[in-house]
Amino acid sequence: MKRISLTQHLIEEQRLHNSIPASLRLLIEVVSRACKTISHAVGKGELGEVLGSAESENVQGEVQKKLDIICNDYLLQANEWGGHLAAMASEEMETIHPIPNRYPMGEYLLLFDPLDGSSNIDVNVSIGTIFSVLKAPEGMTTPTESDFLQAGTRQVAAGYAIYGPQTVLVLTTGNGVQAFTLDREMGSWVMTMQQGTIPEETKEYAINASNARHWYPPVQRYVGELLAGKTGPRGTDVTMRWVASMVADVHRILTRGGVFMYPADAREPDKPGKLRLMYEANPMSFIVEQAGGAATDGKQRILDIQPEKLHQRVAVFLGSRSEVERVTGYHREE
Ligand code: AHM
Ligand code: MG
């Protein structure tokens, strides 16, 4: 097998599409290196004394795990000194993290969920890192939160690393989706998928069904029809998967199709779902669209949403195009 490294891919993409200037390449390489470090820490588990709760809460009021904080620090430290960034924002930090004055300021903004799927850390189930890259607005001198509030269509790169039986980095810079598997012996990322394509049709769906009684009617209807199987309106039997790590659920969908849903529900009408627009929904939607799938909040394309807050939440329906269109259509009929 001809091995194409992440670096070779990034350089060739720049030659082909002029889409990855040197500073963006550096950024992606630095993030991917931090993901190797995270993969190593995750893999050590109890032996590295990294499991369990940190006994602190993040800005969303969620209890942080030790690894949430460790991975956040890895990403901050790795990305501070290279001169490619102006500021960072993380699901685990209340406010943005400008690049310290002692380092040159670059033109990009980096957002990340350092360790997604926190509830799976201690039980040895796949988890991941999700990231999104924006350009700092023209003329920005001192970065502020409002500089980050750009629609998902403005992302110049997005990706995730999944820490599962294999560690895999999935990346888009706007020209399709590529995946790189970590060769643990060599310590290098090797391309293992040149173009991810989500099948348009699927018989697999993903949703936390324990919330069913709180769902709004369009989701009740959509899932109800799926559950009715062969004798129902869809005329076919389907199957359900829910890992409770968005990276793992999205990775499955990228590999063999499916639809992933984390809807808003009636429990807290003012809270549009659980997932965060800037750290989870936008980067994943960019990847899914680049792989031929679709992503909406039930009403509109996620990438078109103009963010109002850094930690904004959003309902998410993503994956195989025909299913996302159907469930979105049910919302529009309301
Ligand atoms: P986290 O970023 O705190 O880990 O939360 C996000 C995760 C997603 O990865 C996953 O899809 C979802 O939360 C699972 O939620 P639930 O526990 O309600 O099933
Ligand atoms: Mg998280």
Tens of pLDDT along the chain (334 residues) come to: 689 999 999 999 999 999 999 999 999 999 999 999 999 999 988 887 777 777 777 777 776 778 888 999 999 999 999 999 999 999 999 999 999 999 999 999 999 999 999 889 889 999 999 999 999 999 898 999 999 999 999 999 999 999 999 999 999 999 999 999 999 999 999 999 999 999 988 999 999 999 999 999 999 999 999 999 999 999 999 999 999 999 999 999 999 999 999 999 999 888 889 999 999 999 999 999 999 999 999 999 999 999 999 999 999 999 999 999 999 999 998 8
Q: State how far the alpha carbon of 238 is from the alpha carbons of 61, 118, 205, 235, 258, in Å.
A: 36, 28, 8, 10, 10
- Class of the CATH domain delimited by 204-332: alpha beta
Structure tokens at 215: 């769902």
- pLDDT at position 262: 98
Residue of the CA atom closest to atom 15 of ligand 1: 244
Torsion, CA 70, CA 71, CA 74, CA 77, rounded to 10: -90
**Equal fold, 6-193 vs 204-332:** no
User: SS3 of 212, please?
Assistant: helix
Question: 10 Å Cβ neighbour count for 183?
Answer: 15
For the chain, what are the domain ranges? 6-193, 204-332
| Distance, CA of 16 to chain centre | 26
Testing ligand 1's pocket by substitution, the residue of 64, 160, 242, 275 carrying the most ligand atoms inside 8 A of its CB is: 275
Residue of the CA atom closest to atom 7 of ligand 1: 117
Could you list which residues have their CB under 5 Å from ion ligand 2? Answer: 113, 116
- pLDDT at position 325: 97
Atom of ligand 1 nearest to the CA of 242: 19
Atom of ligand 1 nearest to the CA of 91: 2
Cα of 280 to ligand 1 centre, how many Å?
10
- pLDDT at position 164: 97
Angle at 295 between CA 292 and CA 299, to 5 degrees: 140
Cα of 243 to ligand 1 centre, how many Å?
9
The set of protein residues with a Cβ atom below 6 angstroms from ligand 1 is 62, 91, 113, 116-119, 208, 244-246, 262, 274
- pLDDT at position 191: 98
| Architecture label for domain 6-193 | 2-Layer Sandwich (3.30)
Residue of the CA atom closest to atom 5 of ligand 1: 117
d(CA 172, CA 284): 10
- Model-level pTM? 0.96
Cα of 194 to ligand 1 centre, how many Å?
28
